[in-house]
Amino acid sequence: MRTASELARLGKVLCQICNGLLKINGSYPRQCKDISDTHHDGWVAQGRCDICKKYPALIPEFIMPHKHYRAEVIEGVIAESEKGNVIEHLGGCAADISTMRRWVRQFRVRGAQAVGWLVSTLLSVYERHVGSLKLWNLTLLKQLARLLGEYHAPESGGVIGRVNIILTTQNCGFL
């Protein structure tokens, strides 16, 4: 896996606001928790755009913006919920039940928005279309996974992390 600095040197990191080339301006520490509530230290690269003068954070796919837990932990809880499992009966995740419920509630809203953004961006930017029948009867997570197949997205990481990369690249927010 390449670092943000390597990708920026290759001209592959674009500003989410104006699509100008980003340079790496620095980094800052960020902690996130795994499924067992263990804290892990990591770094988030800070970009700099010389065109629009913004300094966006280049958050890696395993970190969810504004969340304490790793993306794969949150995605695992959402996947279990979409299978019909009751959150109170989920074992293995150290997060509070109220936290896990909030993840699922937020995902229902943001996931539906993300599906719309991905379909719209696919059509307006790449001039490709995914018919609604191909998404019919799929859970939100599976709809997002299906749409990811239409993009040139990183192949590593979970669905949510990879969708976040596409959404932020297209200036559509994040899950």
In 3D space, the residue among 117, 40, 112, 116 whose CA is nearest the CA of residue 71 turns out to be 40
Task: Pull the structure tokens for residue 83.
Answer: 């299978």
Shared-domain flag, residues 114 and 47: no
**pLDDT digit string, tens, across residues 6-28:** 777 877 788 877 888 889 989 99
Shared-domain flag, residues 47 and 122: no
Shared-domain flag, residues 115 and 131: yes
Phi and psi at 40, nearest 5°, equal -125, 135
| Domain coverage including residue 142 | 61-175
Phi and psi at 27, nearest 5°, equal -155, 165
Shared-domain flag, residues 117 and 156: yes
**pLDDT digit string, tens, across residues 38-93:** 999 888 889 899 999 988 888 888 888 889 999 999 999 999 999 999 988 887 88
Shared-domain flag, residues 69 and 51: no
